[in-house]
C-alpha cells in the first residue's frame, strides 16, 4: 500500500512539473519601443502568454530617448535601439531577466533614425530626416563600433510636402545576407547595397515605385521568390519578383490596403507575412486597421478584409512566435492589443486583452 502511495505521489509531482513547464514555455518576453515625448521613459517589457493571449503589466526595462525601433540578436543576449532624435544614435543593451543594461551608444551620423536591423556581427540603420544610414559592427560583448560603412541618398519625389528630400525609412538585410535593402520614402525607391567583408558596395536600384507612393517597409515571402513593399503615401502594397543574384525586384502587381468605400486620410506603416507564406498583413494609420491579404500560388494578393485595431494610429505590429496571435501597437491611443489569429483563414479576432503604454511604436518578441 505504501509503495502504491509513493507511485501516485510521484506521478502527481511529475504531472505538476510538466504542467508548470508547459505554462512557462508559453510565456514570451515582449519588448515595446516608444516615443518619449509624453509619459514614456524608454523601452518597456511585458510577458505575453501564447496559450492564453494575455499580457502582464508592463514595466520599464531601461530609460532611453525615443527608442522607436528595436532589433534583437539571434542569441537573445543583446537589444539594439535607435534613438530617434535630431542627433541620431543607436544604443546597445545587454538583455537579462526583465532589464536592459546600456553597453554603448554611438552616433548614426544622421537625423531621426527610424529603423534598425541585425545580422551576426552587424547592425544596419536608416536615418529618416537626413536620408542616409549605414552599417555598424557588433562585437562579441554587444558593443557597437562607429559607422563602418555609410550611404547617402539624393533627390526628391512627386509629393512636395512629404518627398521634398530623401527619407531613408527602412534598412534590412536580405535573407541570404548578401544585400542590404534600403527603402527611401522621399525618392520612391528600394535600393540594394551589396555586402562584402562587412561593408556595403555601390547601390543599385532594386525597384522604382510609382511616383508619390512613398514606400516604407517590405517583407520577403518565406519560400517563394517574392517580396511585398508597403507604401505609406499611396496606401498600397507592391508585389514583386526577386532576383537573388542581382538583388533586383520586378513589379508584378499593386493593390490597395483600404476598402473601396473609405473616404479620409490614411497612411500605411508596417507589413508582415506569416511563416507559411499564406497571408500578408499591413497596418493602416487613419483607417486604423490591419489589412489582411491571402497570398496566391502566383504570389499575388487578394484582400480578405480589414480588421479594426481597437485604437488610434496602428504603427508596428508583430505575430507571436507561434503565430496564434497578432499584436498591434496603437501609437496615439497608447495601447497594445492582442488579436487571436485563425491560421486557416488568416482572419483576426480581438481577444479583449490589451495593455496601456504611452506612445508604443515597435513590438519585438
Strands (E), 139-214: 144-152, 168-173, 179-184, 189-196, 199-200, 204-208
With contact defined as beta carbons under 8 Å apart, do 213 and 236 qualify?
Answer: yes
Please tell me the distance from the alpha carbon of residue 216 to that of residue 218, in angstroms, as a whole number.
7
The pLDDT value given to residue 8: 40
With contact defined as beta carbons under 8 Å apart, do 99 and 82 qualify?
Answer: no
pLDDT band at 148 (very low <50, low <70, confident <90, very high): confident
Average pLDDT over residues 294-318: 98
pLDDT band at 127 (very low <50, low <70, confident <90, very high): very high
The pLDDT value given to residue 143: 97
Q: Which three cell numbers stand for residue 279?
A: 497571408
The pLDDT value given to residue 189: 98
The whole model's pTM is what?
0.92
The pLDDT value given to residue 25: 67
Q: What is the CA radius of gyration of the chain?
A: 21
The pLDDT value given to residue 147: 78
> What is the tens place of the pLDDT at every residue in 224-269?
999 999 999 999 999 999 999 999 999 999 999 999 999 999 999 9
The pLDDT value given to residue 28: 95
Query: Of 15-24, 43-52, 231-240, 306-315, which range is least confident?
Result: 15-24
The pLDDT value given to residue 229: 99
pLDDT band at 17 (very low <50, low <70, confident <90, very high): very low
Say yes or no to pLDDT of 196 above 70: yes
Which comes out higher in pLDDT, residue 251 or 12? 251
| Beta strand 335-341 pairing with 199-200 | unpaired
pLDDT band at 13 (very low <50, low <70, confident <90, very high): very low
3-state secondary structure 133-150: EEEEEECCCCCEEEEEEE
The pLDDT value given to residue 15: 37
> What is the tens place of the pLDDT at every residue in 40-90?
999 999 999 999 999 999 999 999 999 999 999 999 999 999 999 999 999
Please tell me the distance from the alpha carbon of residue 180 to that of residue 333, in angstroms, as a whole number.
34
Amino acid at each position: 500500500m505504501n509503495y502504491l502511495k509513493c507511485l501516485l505521489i510521484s506521478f502527481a509531482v511529475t504531472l505538476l512539473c510538466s504542467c508548470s513547464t508547459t505554462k512557462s514555455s508559453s510565456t514570451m518576453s515582449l519588448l515595446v519601443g516608444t516615443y518619449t515625448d509624453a509619459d514614456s521613459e524608454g523601452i518597456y517589457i511585458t510577458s505575453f502568454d501564447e496559450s492564453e493571449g494575455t499580457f502582464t503589466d508592463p514595466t520599464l526595462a531601461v530609460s532611453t530617448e525615443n527608442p522607436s525601433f528595436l532589433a534583437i540578436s539571434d542569441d537573445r543576449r543583446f537589444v539594439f535601439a535607435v534613438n530617434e532624435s535630431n542627433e541620431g544614435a543607436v544604443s546597445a543593451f545587454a538583455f537579462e531577466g526583465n532589464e536592459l543594461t546600456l553597453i554603448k551608444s554611438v552616433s548614426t551620423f544622421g537625423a531621426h533614425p527610424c529603423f534598425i536591423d541585425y545580422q551576426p556581427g552587424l547592425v544596419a540603420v536608416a536615418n529618416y530626416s537626413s536620408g542616409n544610414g549605414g552599417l555598424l559592427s557588433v562585437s562579441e560583448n554587444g558593443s557597437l563600433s562607429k559607422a563602418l560603412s555609410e550611404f547617402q541618398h539624393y533627390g526628391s519625389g512627386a509629393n512636395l510636402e512629404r518627398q521634398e528630400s530623401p527619407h531613408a525609412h527602412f534598412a534590412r538585410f536580405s535573407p541570404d545576407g548578401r544585400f542590404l535593402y534600403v527603402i527611401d520614402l522621399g525618392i520612391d525607391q528600394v535600393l540594394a547595397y551589396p555586402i562584402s567583408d562587412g561593408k556595403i558596395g555601390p547601390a543599385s536600384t532594386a525597384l522604382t515605385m510609382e511616383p508619390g507612393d512613398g514606400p516604407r517597409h517590405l517583407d520577403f515571402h518565406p519560400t517563394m521568390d517574392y517580396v511585398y513593399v508597403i507604401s505609406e503615401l499611396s496606401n498600397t502594397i507592391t508585389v514583386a519578383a526577386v532576383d537573388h543574384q542581382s538583388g533586383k525586384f520586378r513589379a508584378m502587381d499593386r493593390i490597395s490596403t483600404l476598402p473601396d468605400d473609405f473616404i479620409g486620410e490614411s497612411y500605411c506603416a508596417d507589413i508582415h507575412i506569416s511563416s507559411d507564406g499564406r497571408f500578408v498583413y499591413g497596418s493602416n494609420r487613419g483607417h486604423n486597421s490591419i489589412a489582411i491579404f491571402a497570398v496566391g500560388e502566383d504570389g499575388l494578393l487578394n484582400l480578405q478584409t480589414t480588421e479594426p485595431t481597437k485604437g488610434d494610429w496602428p504603427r508596428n505590429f508583430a505575430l507571436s512566435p507561434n503565430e496564434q496571435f497578432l499584436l498591434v501597437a496603437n501609437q496615439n491611443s497608447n495601447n497594445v492589443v492582442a488579436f487571436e489569429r485563425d491560421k486557416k483563414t488568416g482572419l483576426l479576432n480581438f481577444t479583449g486583452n490589451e495593455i496601456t503604454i504611452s506612445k508604443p511604436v515597435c513590438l519585438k518578441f
